[in-house]
Structure 1
């Protein structure tokens, strides 16, 4: 365990859009967060390797493993069961939101978004 890193909170971004990951990464890094990236749900699960993740931001529509399946999979992992998850997506349909909430997502941010919106949601939900 590196002591230098303990003060920083770590956020995992799971999105198949590299440009979107970059925008969110820059906003979070500028706000003082450590950022880990993954391109889809499978890669996201691979990043949950025992390291401390304080919050996850995930897209819904992704190849290989979509965001809802990813959230359900995260909730099966004892170490990450209580990690808050924010869905960042173009999906604005109420039924998708409900599906996401039932899977365990804590917040739903619709694209296009302002980085401030994401930062506010992160600040509200991130684990101490």
Structure 2
């Protein structure tokens, strides 16, 4: 059975991976995603290195990550995802307390889909997450159509 046919099955749930070293932020971001009512599988992790290892054998539809983390910063994390994992389907939102637009633009250039300033506005984060999840779902649905 192919990944595409599994992903298009009625019971398939998209996966969102949240990475932040503050558990409160993880809980807030998880609550925002749950409010979308998209039946997501939400994985919360505090260690970006563990998250990269976990992702190697998983298909992740959305990643919301902090910028300032102990083991590596958001830029290193985005670059590691792009080089180590299946790039297709990864939609990355970086959330940072840094208000420097140059850093935001560098993160986008490195492969992040969006860069939001902490605390992320609920409506903005929900809206971007929903768009990225729908794009991921549509990508796999179109892939399935091409292979059938």
TM-score, scaled to structure 2: 0.76
Measure, in 1, the Cα distance between the counterparts of 2:68 and 2:85: 25
For residues 1-128 of structure 1, what are the structure 2 equivalents within 5 Å? 5-6=11-12, 8-31=13-36, 32=38, 33-126=40-133, 127-128=136-137
Hey, which bits of structure 1, 4+ residues long, moved more than 3 A?
1-5
Contact 1:40 1:66 in 2 (8 A): no
More helix by share: 2
Residues 115 and 75 of structure 1: is their aligned pair in 2 closer, same or farther, counting only changes over 3 Å? same
Structure 1 vs Structure 2 CA RMSD: 2.0
Query: Looking at CA atoms only, which structure, 1 or 2, has the larger radius of gyration?
Result: 2
Contact 2:60 2:89 in 1 (8 A): no
CA distances 1:30-86 after superposition (whole Å, capped 9, x unpaired) = 323221111132122022032221011111111011111010000012423541111
Query: Secondary structure in 2 aligned to 1:76?
Result: helix
Query: Secondary structure in 2 aligned to 1:86?
Result: strand
Which 10-residue stretch deviates more, 101-110 or 23-32?
Answer: 23-32
TM-score, scaled to structure 1: 0.87
Unaligned runs of 5+ in 1: none
Deviation at 1:4, TM superposition (A): 7.1
- What is the number of residues matched between the two proteins? 127
